[in-house]
């Protein structure tokens, strides 16, 4: 046993683990964060995959990171610098395009070209979604109360929640209810008529899920992606200078400044327990580290079936974890390019190359992409969200060269016949072929490519079934059900073992709320014990 005893050991140096570590250190706890990989950040990492070309290998844009965390941990002082994404352009199959620019007047003129009615509806829709994001904002920061429990903390939580819903007023409450229950296609149908506009907006509702735009529940995922806020601007998405890994390093710097210790290449094999209580961790290397508590940033399958012995857990929890839905559905293709793509719909170099390009020409297109996945194939014509980070931050690629990030759906984890090297390459070819329909010079520009399937994400990051949010953001896996009913308060049945990753409330994305609330709850519980 190592003699240096810790108050808290955090397993996993993803951004949530790092945030939990920072808050625990800020609360006066002697804290150690252990990360299996040589680099910190989990799904939020920057790597020089090919010499001179740096990639946000997995997650690539930021919006959801909670402003209170940015303030509490003084992240700008430690390197946070978010550069705005200027636009979203959807190339259309008739050679035209649909664009949303950072300037509203310009966007309005653009939407009028396609549908004057939609141009009128857009600002009202935007305000409504902002109100919804505001309505959900307090919920994001709360410990989900269990409606079946009579514990005073749950009853207080339910009362607070009821009061909050009442304060919304009837109209906003009804809209929230619609967002919680409808498909994104149906919800958007109530607002807009131009199909590519509905398709592009609905795409936020399918990201990271095994749902199509016409699946009930996808409207909630749409809202989840609206909750972001950069410098007070809701729904703004940006790019961290240096890639998403720089966000993780910024958080790590803040955690270290607060006194946390962080170790990489530290693969935790198991949580050491005695009499149903966590006493520390054992690393794969054989080293054992003692702590008063252990906080796991891993998903529930890893935590409950690998880190601890299922014999120490109630059978109903083990069964609920077995049923918890991962079903990874996303792939990623990272390209090193010798120059810039030339889009037929907007030829040449322009501001559209500093924003997102969305391959989502129609609702039917997206739904058919889902149909392929439903039957165990990757999409023949996939949805793709493309950014060229080197256009926003030139340090990402050598001078004159570029990096392109392509987020792709659907690439089902459970592929017919399983994923093989040949299937990964076929998936990569499909992505490039699809892009070439809109930017025909792309093939000639490719110097290197990295194709990542959900299997690769599982292998590299420990994300079970490659789910990008450590488990689907489906309604039955949210709020007091996340990760599973009865265990949404960041606690586990193993005393002094806590959860803090994306599989907890309020879900995935570079949001950090999970790590923050978990740490605050640990500190609160400890404070009470000490009192």
Ligand X SMILES: Cc1cc2nc3c(=O)[nH]c(=O)nc-3n(C[C@H](O)[C@H](O)[C@H](O)COP(=O)(O)OP(=O)(O)OC[C@H]3O[C@@H](n4cnc5c(N)ncnc54)[C@H](O)[C@@H]3O)c2cc1C
Site for ligand X contains 255 (CB under 6 A) = no
Site for ligand X contains 16 (CB under 6 A) = yes
> Which pair of tokens denotes residue 4?
């240096």
How crowded is residue 440: how many other Cβ atoms within 10 Å of its Cβ? Answer: 13
Q: Which of 10, 22, 44, 98 binds ligand X (CB under 6 A)?
A: 44
User: Considering beta carbons, is residue 175 or 248 the nearer one to ligand X?
Assistant: 248
Site for ligand X contains 291 (CB under 6 A) = no
Q: Which of 12, 213, 355, 412 binds ligand X (CB under 6 A)?
A: 12
Q: Which of 185, 254, 439, 468 binds ligand X (CB under 6 A)?
A: 468
> Which pair of tokens denotes residue 9?
């050991």
Site for ligand X contains 33 (CB under 6 A) = no
Q: Which of 407, 479, 480, 487 binds ligand X (CB under 6 A)?
A: 407
User: Considering beta carbons, is residue 161 or 279 the nearer one to ligand X?
Assistant: 279
> Which pair of tokens denotes residue 89?
């352009």
> Which pair of tokens denotes residue 284?
């794969």
CA atoms within 13 A on the CB side of 95: 2
- Provide the minimum distance between the beta carbon of 334 and ligand X in the complex, in angstroms, as a whole number: 10
- Provide the minimum distance between the beta carbon of 515 and ligand X in the complex, in angstroms, as a whole number: 7
CA 504, distance to chain mean position in Å, is 12
> Which pair of tokens denotes residue 405?
């990030």
Choose the binding region for ligand X from 60-68, 87-95, 311-319, 442-450 (rule: CB under 6 A): 60-68
- Kind of pairing between the strands at 268-274 and 277-283: antiparallel
- Kind of pairing between the strands at 268-274 and 46-50: unpaired
Choose the binding region for ligand X from 67-75, 209-217, 483-491, 500-508 (rule: CB under 6 A): 500-508
* 268 vs 6: CA distance, rounded Å: 15
Site for ligand X contains 463 (CB under 6 A) = yes
If you ran DSSP here, which 8-state letter would residue 310 be given? G
Choose the binding region for ligand X from 85-93, 130-138, 340-348, 464-472 (rule: CB under 6 A): 464-472
* 228 vs 509: CA distance, rounded Å: 10
Give the DSSP per-residue string, 14-74.
BHHHHHHHHHHHHTT--EEEE-SSSSSBTTS-EEEEETTEEEE-S---B--S-HHHHHHTT
Pick from 363, 404, 12: nearest CA to 192? 363
Interface mask toward ligand X for 365-394; x: CB under 6 A:
------------------------------
Site for ligand X contains 144 (CB under 6 A) = no
> Which pair of tokens denotes residue 481?
């059900």
- Provide the minimum distance between the beta carbon of 193 and ligand X in the complex, in angstroms, as a whole number: 29
State which of positions 117-136 bind ligand X (CB under 6 A): none
Q: Answer whether 60's CB lies under 8 Å from 244's CB.
A: yes
Q: Answer whether 432's CB lies under 8 Å from 230's CB.
A: no
Helix (H) or strand (E) holding 456: helix 454-461
- Provide the minimum distance between the beta carbon of 331 and ligand X in the complex, in angstroms, as a whole number: 8
User: Considering beta carbons, is residue 15 or 449 the nearer one to ligand X?
Assistant: 15
Instruction: Enumerate binding residues for ligand X (CB under 6 A).
Output: 11-17, 34-37, 42-44, 58-62, 64, 267-268, 297-298, 302, 330, 332, 407, 457, 461-463, 468-470, 501-502, 508-510
């Amino acid at each position: 046993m190592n003699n240096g005893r810790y108050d808290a050991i955090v397993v996993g140096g993803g951004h949530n683990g790092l945030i939990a570590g920072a808050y625990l250190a800020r609360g006066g706890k002697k804290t150690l964060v252990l990360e299996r990989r040589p680099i910190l950040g989990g799904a939020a990492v920057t790597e020089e995959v090919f010499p001179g070309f740096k990639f946000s290998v997995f997650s690539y844009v930021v919006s959801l990171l909670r402003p209170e965390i940015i303030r509490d941990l003084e992240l700008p002082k430690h390197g946070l610098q978010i550069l705005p994404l200027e636009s979203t352009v959807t190339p259309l199959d008739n050679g035209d395009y649909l664009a949303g620019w950072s300037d509203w007047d310009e966007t309005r003129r653009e939407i009028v070209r396609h549908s004057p009615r939609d141009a009128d509806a857009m600002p009202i829709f935007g305000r409504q979604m902002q109100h919804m994001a505001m309505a959900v904002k307090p919920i994001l920061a709360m410990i989900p109360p269990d409606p079946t429990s009579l514990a005073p903390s749950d009853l207080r939580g339910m009362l607070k929640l009821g009061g909050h819903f009442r304060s919304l007023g009837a109209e906003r409450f009804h809209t929230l209810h619609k967002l919680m229950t409808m498909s994104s296609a149906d919800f958007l149908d109530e607002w807009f008529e131009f199909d590519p506009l509905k398709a592009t907006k609905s795409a936020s509702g399918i990201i990271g899920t095994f749902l199509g735009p016409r699946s009930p529940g996808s409207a909630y995922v749409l809202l989840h992606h609206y909750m972001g806020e950069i410098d007070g601007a809701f729904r703004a998405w940006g790019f961290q200078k240096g890639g998403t890994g720089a966000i993780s390093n910024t958080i790590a710097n803040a955690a270290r400044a607060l006194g946390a210790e962080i170790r990489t290449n530290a693969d935790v094999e198991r949580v050491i327990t005695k009499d149903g209580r966590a006493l520390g961790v054992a690393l794969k290397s054989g080293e054992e580290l003692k702590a008063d508590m252990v906080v796991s940033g891993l998903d529930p399958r890893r935590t409950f079936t690998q880190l601890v012995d299922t014999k120490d857990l109630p059978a109903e929890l083990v069964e609920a974890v077995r049923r918890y839905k991962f079903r990874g559905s996303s792939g990623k293709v990272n390209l090193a390019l010798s120059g810039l793509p030339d889009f037929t719909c907007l030829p040449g170099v322009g501001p559209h190359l500093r924003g997102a390009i969305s391959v989502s020409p129609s609702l039917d297109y997206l739904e058919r992409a889902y149909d392929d996945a439903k039957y165990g194939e990757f999409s023949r014509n996939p949805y793709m969200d493309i950014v060229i980070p080197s256009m926003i931050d030139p340090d990402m690629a050598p001078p004159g060269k570029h990096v392109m990030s392509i987020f792709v759906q659907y690439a089902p984890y459970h592929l017919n016949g399983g994923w093989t090297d040949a299937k990964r390459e076929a998936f990569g070819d499909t992505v490039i072929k699809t892009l070439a329909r809109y930017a025909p010079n792309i093939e000639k520009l490719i110097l290197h490519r990295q194709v990542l399937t959900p299997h690769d994400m599982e292998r590299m990051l420990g994300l079970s079934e490659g789910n990008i949010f450590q488990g689907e953001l489906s309604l039955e896996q949210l709020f007091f059900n996340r990760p599973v009913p009865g265990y949404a308060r960041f606690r586990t049945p193993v005393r002094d073992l806590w959860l803090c990753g994306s599989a907890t409330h309020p879900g995935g994305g570079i949001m950090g709320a999970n790590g923050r609330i978990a740490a605050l709850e640990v500190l609160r519980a400890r404070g009470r014990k000490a009192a």
